[in-house]
Amino acid sequence: FELAEDAVLHWAVALTAAAMAGAMAAVLDMSIAYVGEREQFGRPLGKFQAIQQQISVMAERVAMANVAGQGALARPLPGPSALDIAVAKPVVDASASILCSVSHAVFGAIGITAEHDLSLFTRRLKRSQLAFGGTLPWARQLGRARLARAGGTSVDFIRALRHG
């Protein structure tokens, strides 16, 4: 089968968003394992409330990225629309930024070394954020579409995208 050039672009962005969500889940798993093993002041880092709160922020962002990635890939052939991508890409990119920052704070200096697996994931996430024009063109497209649709809430707008 053949796909239009814009459909190929939309598939590429949707698959990138989904791959980013998967990488973010791996970073969360690595972080949870690390804070369970690493001790400070005689107790595992994971027992400190501040670390628990940061891990929960990471988990929220992974969940958001998963939902956004799944939403971008939910439409049958010919596949994701421009607005599907415009919803997913900014959510996944913003989630990746927060997750990378928090994970490096949790791991400390060891996480930024080239030899540590964390840096492999976060460098890839940062590169993926820049792919396909980054967040801005997709956010602009979404904003224009939302402003063009008068009335209703933004949730109604997103629901209409899923069913339209």
Closest residue by Cα to residue 19 from 58, 56, 72, 59: 72
Of the two residues 13 and 116, the one the predictor is more confident about is 13
Q: At what angle do helices 82-107 and 154-163 cross, to 10 degrees?
A: 120
Mean pLDDT of 25-50: 92
Name the DSSP letter for residue 46: G
137: closest CA among 5, 9, 28? 9
105: pLDDT strictly greater than 80: yes
**Structure confidence at residue 44 (pLDDT):** 86
**In angstroms, rounded to a whole number, what is the distance separating the alpha carbons of residues 118 and 30?**
8
Q: How confident is the model at residue 111 (pLDDT cuts 50, 70, 90)?
A: low
Window from 72-81, 90-99, 107-116, 153-162 with minimum mean pLDDT:
107-116
Q: What interhelical angle do 49-72 and 5-37 show, nearest 10?
A: 160
